[in-house]
Each structure stands twice: as structure tokens, then as C-alpha cells.
Amino acid sequence: DTGVSQNPRHKITKRGQNVTFRCDPISEHNRLYWYRQTLGQGPEFLTYFQNEAQLEKSRLLSDRFSAERPKGSFSTLEIQRTEQGDSAMYLCASSPGTANTGELFFGEGSRLTVL
Amino acid sequence: QKEVEQDPGPLSVPEGAIVSLNCTYSNSAFQYFMWYRQYSRKGPELLMYTYSSGNKEDGRFTAQVDKSSKYISLFIRDSQPSDSATYLCAMRATGGGNKLTFGTGTQLKVEL
């Protein structure tokens, strides 16, 4: 399968615990994005990388959130001291940097439930 | 007020109906307009893409952009039960690393 891969697909955790999600983008896509989607809402931008450089972060990304993309390949999104309000679907997407359509190729998401 | 407004529905239509989905936006910098389809528990997938104003047709789908009114539409002809999904409009400005701003999505159900 050559699509965007996200793991784990579903994570249930207790409030205060740390969680980490992983995203493997489509090979050769140098841009990688993280979005968050809550029930009944559209995806909201969190951050994006061009290769290993994190170029933009949303105000939604509090200091409890950190994202990395070492070596410009896979990316991780870590949430520390989770809160119930963090419960959402975390979507990863990738795109080739030269695409004019702006098409983002999304993974199937990692659903977080904070009890 | 959100930058992109979209009626969340749900919208229920009989098979074969013409479906009209719409979004309005407030940011004049938006130049690229997209419609994504999202099935339950799946990631969004690109359905239609339009640059600036105008119409674009692809099979049963037609996308329209009216920048003067800051209004975009997606029409689905001869709707099928397999079209049942959430439809998200998305848009972006020039540059900005392809960062998209999405609407809330409209949930569509096409019934037999």
C-alpha cells in the first residue's frame, strides 16, 4: 500500500497520560501536515513540515503538543498530559511540494479518546 | 465568525436526485477551492479542484466558484447511494504551503 499510513488507528487513554501518533507519508512527498477533526467539524490545521523543517504551527497547537519529522520521512505527534478536550481524530496528510492543485493525500486518521 | 461556512446538514435525497452543496467564505485571499469527500471513519479524499472563479465538470460532479460573491458550490447529478458521505469544502490562498481551511462538512445520504 502506497498511501499515507497512520498508527495507531485508535488510542484510548486516561487523562494526564502522554500519547504519540505516527504518520508515514507517501514516498517522495516532501510536505507533511497534521490536522485535527472533532465530531461534526471539518479538519483544523495544526502544523506542517517541508522535509524535516516545521514551517508553521497553529495556535491550536498548545505547548502540550509537539510534532517532529526526523530526516524528513515519517512524523510523530505527541500529546503530553492529555485532557478530555484532546479527544478527536488526528489526521495526517502529505503532498508533493510542487503540486499546484494543493491536493493533500490524507491517511485514515488516529482516533484519540481521553477518559 | 469562521472563515468558511458550510451547512452541516444532514441532507437526505432520493436516488437519482440532483444535489447542491454550498460554502461561503470571508477571506478574499483564497484562490484555490476544493471539495473533499469523507466516508465514515476514513480520511478525506479530493473530489474536485478549481482555481479562481469558474466551473469545472467531472462526470456527475460540477464545481462552481463565484469569487465576487465568495460562494462555491458542488453539484452531484444522478446521485447514487454510494455518494452518501460527508462533503467538505476546502480552500487556500496562494503560497502558505498548501495549508487548507475546511468547512464543517455537509453530511449527505442518498436513499434508495
* Residue-wise pLDDT tens digits, B26-41: 999 999 999 999 999 8
The model's confidence at residue B23, banded by pLDDT at 50, 70 and 90, is very high
User: Scanning the structure block, which residue is given the C-alpha cell 465568495?
Assistant: B70
Q: Pick the range with the lowest mean pLDDT from A90-104, B60-74, B88-102.
A: A90-104
| A46-81 per-position pLDDT tens digit | 999 999 999 999 988 889 999 999 988 999 999 999
User: A83 CA to chain B: closest CA distance, Å?
Assistant: 22
Q: Are strands A10-13 and A110-114 parallel, antiparallel or unpaired?
A: parallel
Taking an 8 Å cut-off on Cβ atoms, the answer to whether A101 and B100 are in contact is no
Taking an 8 Å cut-off on Cβ atoms, the answer to whether B45 and A106 are in contact is yes
Task: State the greatest distance between any 2 C-alpha atoms of chain B, in Å, as a whole number.
Answer: 43
Over 60: is that where the pLDDT of A1 sits?
Answer: no
Separation of alpha carbons A66 and A68, rounded Å: 7
Look at residue B96 in the predicted model and tell me its pLDDT. 67
**A107 closest CA partner among A85, A77, A64:** A77
Contact A91, A75 (CB under 8 A): no
Put simply, whether A23 touches B (Cβ < 8 Å) is: no
Report which residue type is found at A29: H
Helix (H, G, I), strand (E, B) or coil at B66: strand
Report the residue from A55, A101, A108 with minimal CB separation from B43.
Answer: A108
Helix (H, G, I), strand (E, B) or coil at A72: helix
Separation of alpha carbons B37 and B46, rounded Å: 6
Separation of alpha carbons A76 and B92, rounded Å: 25
